[in-house]
Amino acid sequence: MEIELRKIVTALIAIAMFASAFAGTASALGMLNLDFGNVEQGRTYTETVNVITSEMDFDNRFIIEKSGELAEWIDVSPMEFDLKAGDTQTLTVMLTVPEDAKLGEYTGAITVVGQRTAPAPGATPDGAAVGYTVATKSNLHANVIKPGAVEAVSILSVIAPERVDPGSVAKFDVSIKNTGNIPTTASPTLTVSKGTETVATIPGVPVELNVDEEKTAKLYWDAQEKGTYTAVVAVTCGETITESEPISIEVSKGGFSIPSVSAFGVVASILAAFAFALLRRKR
């Protein structure tokens, strides 16, 4: 048992010595990802990203490597630079979208690679001892759309019940049409209110729509307490929100009704009965 304990202690001491030997050489080199968002065919876009280091890093020289689908479309400045420990370097990234680029999503990356080896304990100034090189990457994204792109949808109709029983589920069928000139995604949301109080906000499943395409989104509300409620459907498309007309829904127990008889028919029936009673009296 004593021998095993000595082995464990010896191992822990070795690990501690190894960790202390490399303390201070950990790199904090890094930069954020870059999203160009929607970009039009034939246009040029410019963004910046910072390469950051900490005081724990070491003076180094860096070069830029491009990769991915966007590699041929981007220019980075500067492509090479020296950076002292704790300093920051700003990179300018220019994206030029070809006029004949296919519509859709594109990804890529720019990688900043250090050209000097991190000094290990006992290393010579030129990094001759065992060490490591440092690098960091910024992932790129762009969505190519055609010039003059318009992202828009319309709510064609909302089919919903006028009355539901307490404890039942009310279904809303929302007909949505893409009225823009590019494919888009429509995200429906149902908001139910009672007076000035919002009692439920229910998001629906996003709907993918091609140009001029129509689809029906389904939303469900679990009606519990009796009362009169107002429902509104909102559809989000890009940065635009389109709302439906308010819909009134009564939550109550069902009663006797004659659905085929209109209000005019009821009045006419009452008048006819009254006239018939008068004729009988005259007789």
**Structural tokens at position 172:** 């809303």
Angle at CA of residue 92, ends 90 and 95, nearest 5°:
155
CA–CA separation, 183 and 211 (whole Å): 5
CA–CA separation, 215 and 218 (whole Å): 10
pTM: 0.51
Amino acid (1-letter code) at residue 134: V
Q: Could you give all domains of the chain from N- to C-terminal order, each with its CATH number?
A: 28-145 (2.60.40.10), 153-251 (2.60.40.10)
CA–CA separation, 189 and 192 (whole Å): 10
Q: Is 17 helix (H, G, I), strand (E, B) or coil?
A: helix
Write down the residue that tokens 């491009």 correspond to. Answer: 66
User: For the chain, how big is the Rg over CA atoms in Å?
Assistant: 35
Give the pLDDT score at 21.
39
215 by Cβ neighbours in 10 Å (0-12 / 13-18 / 19+) ranks as middle
Chain-centre distance for alpha carbon 249:
32
Give the pLDDT score at 86.
87
Residues 56-102: tens digit of each pLDDT: 878 889 999 999 999 999 999 999 999 998 899 999 999 999 999 99
Amino acid (1-letter code) at residue 266: V
Q: If you average pLDDT over residues 183-198, what whole number do you get?
A: 94
Q: Is 137 helix (H, G, I), strand (E, B) or coil?
A: strand
CA distances from 188 to 22, 143, 168, 207, 228 (A): 54, 23, 21, 8, 23
Angle at CA of residue 76, ends 75 and 77, nearest 5°:
125
- Find, among 106, 96, 89, the residue nearest to 49 by Cα: 89
Residues 149-190: tens digit of each pLDDT: 888 999 999 999 999 999 999 999 999 999 998 889 999 999
Residues 228-276: tens digit of each pLDDT: 999 999 999 988 999 999 999 999 987 543 333 333 444 444 455 455 4
CA–CA separation, 64 and 112 (whole Å): 5
Q: If you average pLDDT over residues 197-224, what whole number do you get?
A: 95
**Quick one: which H or E segment has residue 83?**
strand 80-83
88 by Cβ neighbours in 10 Å (0-12 / 13-18 / 19+) ranks as exposed
Q: Is 16 helix (H, G, I), strand (E, B) or coil?
A: helix
